[in-house]
Amino acid sequence: MGGWRPAGTGKSVASREMLLSMLCTNTPEHLRLIIVDTKIVEYADFDGIPHLCQPICAGVDSAMRSLAWLASEIERREHLKNAIDMNSLRYLHKRLFGCYRRGKPIKLPPGTHEIFPDIVVVIDEFSDLLHFYGKEAEELLVKIMIEGSRVEIRVILATSIINRKEIPFSIRCCCYSIICFQTPGAGASKEILGKNSTEKLSRPGDMLCSIRDLPLLRVQGARVSMNEVIRVTDFWKSHC
């Protein structure tokens, strides 16, 4: 999924709300997160939660290492699916976790783990990766977005860049859904969604959502206070 919002209008708020929703409905055994925050402050409250695969990435170099790891994790999961002849990794995880809880773990091929949680990677201002790493970052992102969905690995991208020329077509066409908040004018709206409308959005959380093969939807995002974010993240930190 991709999210476009002009700088200074709180584009990271929507990503934090999505993360909070995931934390309220998933344990670390079922969901792992990778967060890339080059500004450091946007997701500081999430640092230390047990769902994280690693500490929050605060630079493009560490972000690229995380993407490289994700690419290898996709290949590992694909190999496992083929080895045990099972199409749905989510079903496998559910079955493995149930057997593990009952004290009757299923024997897997050597070198594989027992638990396969969903992985969601959130990249704030992913255009920074493209600026510093160019084609290498583009190819990694495309691989993860295309192949990752087959093994329960998802990507949330956020950027304030509106010019379509600065966002490669290969990445744009991989976005199953795109959300856009208020833009400064009709031209920006057309750049992002191909239609005018986002310049008319007003209230906080007001957005247009483009989902592949569906009509354009106007959606109202949740309004979550920072106190609520801290309450939920502190709960998980105290239970890790």
Check pLDDT > 90 for residue 24.
yes
Two tokens at 110?
Answer: 């050597």
In this predicted model, which residue has the larger pLDDT, 91 or 158? 158
Q: How confident is the model at residue 8 (pLDDT cuts 50, 70, 90)?
A: very low
User: Which residues 6+ apart lie within 8 Å of 72 measured at CB?
Assistant: none
Give the global pTM.
Answer: 0.84
**pLDDT (tens digit per residue) in 129-138:** 998 999 999 9
| Interval 91-104 mean pLDDT | 64
Please count the structural domains in the chain. Answer: 1
| Lowest pLDDT segment from 197-201, 217-221, 226-230 | 197-201
**pLDDT (tens digit per residue) in 145-154:** 999 988 899 9
Alpha helices in 88-225 (DSSP H): 89-101, 127-147, 169-172, 186-193
> Is residue 150 in a domain?
yes
**pLDDT (tens digit per residue) in 31-47:** 999 999 987 778 999 99
> Is residue 38 in a domain?
yes
User: Which residues 6+ apart lie within 8 Å of 99 measured at CB?
Assistant: 105, 106
The parent domain of residue 35 ranges over 2-234
Residues 39, 136: Cα–Cα separation, whole Å: 22
Phi and psi, residue 203, nearest 5°: -65, 155
Point out the annotated binding site for ATP: 5-12
Antiparallel, parallel or unpaired: β 2-4 and 177-180? parallel
In this predicted model, which residue has the larger pLDDT, 51 or 168? 51
Give the whole-number percent of the chain exceeding pLDDT 70. Answer: 80
Residue 6: what pLDDT? Answer: 47
CATH number at residue 138: 3.40.50.300
**Interaxial angle between packed helices 89-101 and 60-84, expressed in degrees from 0 to 180 and rounded to the nearest 10:** 80
User: Angle at CA 38, nearest 5°, toward 37 and 44?
Assistant: 45
> Is residue 124 in a domain?
yes
Select, from the ranges 60-74, 93-107, 180-194, 195-209, the one with the highest average predicted confidence (pLDDT): 60-74
> Is residue 93 in a domain?
yes
**CA distances in angstroms from 73 to 66, 69, 116, 126, listed in the order given:** 10, 6, 10, 20
Check pLDDT > 60 for residue 25.
yes
Residue 7: what pLDDT? Answer: 46
Mean pLDDT of the chain: 83
Residue 110: what pLDDT? Answer: 57
Point out the annotated binding site: 5-12
Cβ atoms of 31 and 122 within 8 Å: the answer is no
> Is residue 240 in a domain?
no
**CA distances in angstroms from 104 to 91, 95, 97, listed in the order given:** 17, 11, 10
Residues 109, 79: Cα–Cα separation, whole Å: 10
> Is residue 239 in a domain?
no
Residues 187, 195: Cα–Cα separation, whole Å: 9
Cβ atoms of 232 and 23 within 8 Å: the answer is yes
